[in-house]
Amino acid sequence: MITAERKPLDEILELVGDKKKVLVAGCDTCVAICLTGGEKEAEILASELRILAEKDGRAIEVEHTAAIRQCEWEYLDMIAEKVEAADVVLSMACGIGIQSLAEKFAPQLVMPAVNTNMLGMPQEHAVWLERCVACGECRIGLTGGICPVVRCSKSLMNGPCGGSHDGLCEVTGPEKEEIECAWALIWERLKAQGREELMFTERPPKNWSKSSSGGPRKMVREEAKPV
Amino acid sequence: MTATEYKAGSNLEKILREGKFAVTGECGPPKSTDVTVIEEKAKILTGYVDAVNITDNQTAVVRVCSMASAYTAQQNGLEAIMQMTCRDRNRLAMQADIMGASTLGIKNVLCLTGDHMSFGNHPEAKGVHDLDAINLIKMYKDMRDEKKFQCGEEMPLGPPLFIGCAENPFADPFELRALRLKKKIEAGADFIQTQCIFNVPKFKKWMEEVRALGLHKEIKILAGITPLKGVGGARYMQKFVPGIDVPQDIVDRMAACEKGAPSQAEGKKIAVEMIKEFAEIEGVAGVHIMAIEWEIAVPEIVEAAGLMPRPAVV
């Protein structure tokens, strides 16, 4: 799923600026599951903005709403009235939802209230781990179902670098958390599968043109198009 | 041996090919445009090492680029091994740079993944990692031997290169380490310099695996040595530098010495003992002395290890 984190309140206030009618628009799909931008979180942010405005003596009107999915046109129709009535919309959807909203109601002012951060897997309650970067050329069939592009800090394709120690990467995460060495995991998985030889086959340079390096991507399913 | 049979004809390649015990050193370019830093380091090392590694933004800290510094070293009479990391360049830049280096007379290259950006002075930088070190070795081999760019296009004249790689016998999973060297040999590496060695028994164990696979006959192995200046550095590496394995007895030896000259003398003594020990190991073709910001120690170490004078090859 797509995960996101709410921006700091100061940054959100800066995005709102001197606008008087604010709509906080949540999305009830991915960002709701990761407890960041669903209807409940939109309501909380709206309350925070109202309390702050009252404290500072600013006249501001804050409403909240949520679309079932902000990334689909038909669900946006359902919140159209509120969006059009606002001076600024603070979207709590992922980057796709925010842009869909901005495109659908252009030139309405739509601001991001969250930072979309990854395609993550819920490892346990309230913990998400990055598992995919949508590189457009999946090779995890060769690596025991573990993606080295996203899980190796250097996106190595041919085995662990010299910084792998006790199953850990030499790099620590932004909060100084330990990161598992993807290649140590891959090696253990391949051994368990009896496919060790895959480790020693040279993998050629990756075709990054299928990733975002190739420019914005587009997918068309001709067979699914309306006749 | 005629020149045409060499891959690059560098001093380092010739010495290794003749089966002579090679000595390489290391020079970090400065964090400023003061060219005299490289000139001074080159003066210290000339005559004592067969070639010198010129690091490429080592530890992800920006410095004068390895190509310009390698050129300066060579202008000052010291053959360079230009380091090239996958962290800072994509495949276009890595091919352009190696051809540029070649036109400047640089013949040795060391292909590295590169330390992660988070360790350096620009932790917000985007890491390139278009290729990994094995892809890079293969790309340079194909440019040299097949006269082909990575995309498959042909070129009239490829860069004559002696291609090096690094390997860390102390990283995990240990069982993969010799096999990973094999993969680098298959990709086209001609020589390898190891991570600095302090745990000699573990290095010997790795060499046993290397020999069991016959790899020592396919690649020239230079054992990495870092002379210790004091116990502080030893403890720091022991605790904080991933992939470096400093056994307690080394730390204890350094701790038993007074700071300053006695400590430095002990560090050099350990380095000399190690060089002598490595020279006896079957399959070790030379040593790579990484005296980080302590180049001045190298001549004494090389001399004391009985490696002077350096062989002259034609």
For chain A, which residues make up each domain, given as ranges? Answer: 2-118, 133-214
Residue-averaged pLDDT of chain B: 96
Contact (CB, 8 A) for B111 and B136: yes
Question: Which pLDDT does position A176 carry in this prediction?
Answer: 80
Query: Considering CB atoms only, which of B118, B119, B171 is closest to A160?
Result: B171
B255 pLDDT higher than 90: yes
* Residues in chain B closer than 8 A to A200 (CB atoms): 179, 182-183
Distance from CA of B254 to the nearest CA of A (A): 25
| Average pLDDT over every residue of A76-100 | 98
How many domains is chain B partitioned into structurally? 1
* Residues in chain B closer than 8 A to A133 (CB atoms): none
Question: Which pLDDT does position A197 carry in this prediction?
Answer: 95
ω into B29 cis (within 30 of 0): no
The set of residues, in sequence order, having a beta carbon less than 8 Å from that of B165 and lying 6+ positions away, is B110, B111, B112, B133, B137, B184, B189, B191, B192, B193
Give the residue from B135, B136, B138, B239 with the most A CB atoms within 10 Å of its CB, the best one to mutate. Answer: B135
Q: Do the domain assignments include residue B181?
A: yes
Bridge-based pairing state of the strands B220-225 and B191-196:
parallel
Return d(Cα B153, Cα B131) in angstroms, integer.
18
Residue-averaged pLDDT of chain A: 96
Return d(Cα B261, Cα B276) in angstroms, integer.
23
Q: Which domain holds residue B282?
A: 12-301
Return d(Cα A95, Cα A92) in angstroms, integer.
9
Interface pTM, i.e. ipTM: 0.94
The set of residues, in sequence order, having a beta carbon less than 8 Å from that of B6 and lying 6+ positions away, is B13, B14, B17, B160
Max CA distance (Å), chain B = 61
User: Could you name the CATH architecture of A2-118?
Assistant: 3-Layer(aba) Sandwich (3.40)
Q: Is B275 on the interface with A (CB under 8 A)?
A: no
Helix, strand, coil percentages (3-state) for chain B, rounded to 5, are 45, 15, 40
Q: For residue B101, which of B77, B58, B123, B70 has the smallest C-alpha distance?
A: B70
Query: Considering CB atoms only, which of A165, A166, A187 is closest to B176?
Result: A187
- Answer whether A159 sits within 8 Å of B242, measured CB to CB: no
Contact (CB, 8 A) for B285 and B22: yes
The rounded Cα A103 to chain-centroid distance in angstroms is 19
| Average pLDDT over every residue of B125-150 | 98
| Average pLDDT over every residue of A185-189 | 98
The set of residues, in sequence order, having a beta carbon less than 8 Å from that of B91 and lying 6+ positions away, is A205, B130, B131, B139, B150
Three state DSSP letters for A103-155: HHCCCCCEEECEEEEEEEEEEECCEEEEEECCCCCCCHHHCCCCCHHHHCCCC
Q: Is B111 on the interface with A (CB under 8 A)?
A: no
Question: Which pLDDT does position A174 carry in this prediction?
Answer: 76
Question: Which pLDDT does position A35 carry in this prediction?
Answer: 96
Q: Do the domain assignments include residue B191?
A: yes
B22 three-state secondary structure: strand
Question: Which pLDDT does position B204 carry in this prediction?
Answer: 97
* Token pair in block for residue B285: 């073709």
Q: Do the domain assignments include residue B148?
A: yes
Percent of chain A with pLDDT over 70: 100
B140 pLDDT higher than 80: yes
Question: Which pLDDT does position A30 carry in this prediction?
Answer: 96
Percent of chain B with pLDDT over 90: 96
DSSP letters spanning A45-64: HHHHHHHHHHHHT---EEEE
Question: Which pLDDT does position B4 carry in this prediction?
Answer: 58
Confidence of residue B156 (pLDDT cuts 50, 70, 90): very high
Work out the number of other CB atoms within 10 angstroms of the CB of residue A129: 15
Residue B18's CATH number: 3.20.20.220
Query: Considering CB atoms only, which of B129, B130, B176 is closest to A160?
Result: B176
The residue whose two tokens read 């309140």 is: A9
Give per-residue pLDDT as tens, B258-276: 999 999 999 999 999 999 9
Q: Do the domain assignments include residue B4?
A: no
| Average pLDDT over every residue of A109-117 | 98
B40 pLDDT higher than 60: yes
B5 pLDDT higher than 90: no
Contact (CB, 8 A) for B253 and B231: no
Question: Which pLDDT does position B241 carry in this prediction?
Answer: 83
| Average pLDDT over every residue of B268-288 | 98
Give per-residue pLDDT as tens, B208-242: 999 999 999 999 999 999 999 999 999 999 998 87
The full length of chain B comes to: 314
Return d(Cα B250, Cα B255) in angstroms, integer.
9
Confidence of residue B82 (pLDDT cuts 50, 70, 90): very high
Q: Is B166 on the interface with A (CB under 8 A)?
A: yes
* Token pair in block for residue A185: 């995991």
B3 pLDDT higher than 70: no
Q: Do the domain assignments include residue B170?
A: yes
| Average pLDDT over every residue of A183-211 | 97
Question: Which pLDDT does position B2 carry in this prediction?
Answer: 54
Query: Considering CB atoms only, which of A153, A158, A200 is closest to B132?
Result: A158
Give per-residue pLDDT as tens, B184-197: 999 999 999 999 99
The rounded Cα B134 to chain-centroid distance in angstroms is 16
Return d(Cα B87, Cα B130) in angstroms, integer.
8
* Token pair in block for residue B47: 């005559």
Distance from CA of A109 to the nearest CA of B (A): 30
| Average pLDDT over every residue of B57-84 | 97
Q: Do the domain assignments include residue B41?
A: yes
Confidence of residue A57 (pLDDT cuts 50, 70, 90): very high
B1 pLDDT higher than 60: no
Q: Do the domain assignments include residue B207?
A: yes
Q: Is B239 on the interface with A (CB under 8 A)?
A: no
